[in-house]
Amino acid sequence: MLRTPTGGAGHGTATPDERAMSIGTVLMRLRDEFPEVTISKIRFLEAEGLIEPQRTPSGYRKFSAADVERLAQVLRMQRDHYLPLKVIREHLEAVARGDRAALPPGAGQGEPADGHRTAEAGGATAARIGRPEFLAAVGATEEQLEEWEAYGLIVASAEGSYEAGAVTIARLVADLGRFGLEPRHLRAVRGAAEREAGLVEQVVAPLRRHRNPQTRAHAEVTARELAELSVRLHAALVQSALNVRFH
């Protein structure tokens, strides 16, 4: 949930200046609900016309509470429905005009939005999206996606669709690219992830083959828990290595 701004001292309401927020403050307010949002992402959405924060005379962005809520709406529609930015923009513009605008058929109703499919995997339903929707959700170019695929960072299904998790991976790869880390530099990260997944599979494979349905169901829970622990260990080891090198 978004944090609500605190009121001004002694009055219970905030002045316009107090309500104005820097992009860093906006990032912190959004992080609870959208842990993977970045300053680069916010700037990209601004460049695409989804938000229009005010600017100070020196050029710094100043966001109002309404700007933050609009950002949250955009991020929810991307995360939950994988809607292209053009569709999101048109929807918000219609709402601003007072029109009774609805999301595309199926969106927000437990069904996939246009251009989306679902695939059964181990009894769970995972959303899949097509290539155009994937590019729109990530904000990437065709050339970028081709390069990510060439290095195995993003993998499409046989019919050319992408699982929901690929959107998160692509956004992270794009953010790393802004620091000069190219896909070829990330092959080691991909290799480490595959080895960690192999370790998890070794543990849960016997459970998945068990005759008891409850044991097989427990395999999925175990896999998720092991994956989370593996990710936390990986992050701690990287942080520890950096501390050693920089101190």
Angle, CA 121 vertex, CA 116 and CA 125 arms, to 5°: 45
Query: pLDDT tens digit string along 159-204?
Result: 888 987 888 899 899 989 989 999 999 988 888 888 988 988 998 8
CA torsion, ordered 204, 210, 213, 216, to nearest 10 deg: 10
Report the alpha-carbon distance of residue 227 to residue 194 in Å, rounded.
11
Per residue, the 3-state secondary structure of 45-69, as one string, reads HHHCCCCCCEECCCCCEEECHHHHH
Under CATH, what is the fold of the domain 16-96? Multidrug-efflux Transporter Regulator; Chain: A; Domain 2 (1.10.1660)
Going from N- to C-terminal start, the domains of the chain cover 16-96, 115-181, 185-247
pLDDT mean across residues, the chain? 79
Q: What is the pLDDT of residues 25-52, one digit of tens each?
A: 998 899 888 887 888 888 888 888 889 9
Is residue 49 left, alpha or beta, with left meaning phi > 0 and alpha meaning psi from -120 to 50? Answer: left
Question: How many Cβ atoms are within 10 Å of 227's Cβ, its own excluded?
Answer: 15
Q: What is the pTM of this model?
A: 0.48
**Predicted confidence (pLDDT) at residue 148 exceeds the cutoff of 90:** yes
pLDDT, one tens digit per residue, over 57-109 is: 888 889 999 999 999 988 888 777 767 777 888 888 888 887 766 665 434 43
CA distances from 70 to 22, 54, 64, 79 (A): 15, 14, 10, 14
Distance CA 13, CA 4 (A): 11
Residue 7 three-state SS = coil
Closest of 140, 52, 138, 136 to residue 96, by C-alpha: 52
Per-residue pLDDT tens digits for 64-78: 999 999 999 888 887
- CA 228/CA 61 separation, integer angstroms: 36
Burial of residue 73 (CB within 10 Å: 0-12, 13-18, 19+) is middle
DSSP 92: H
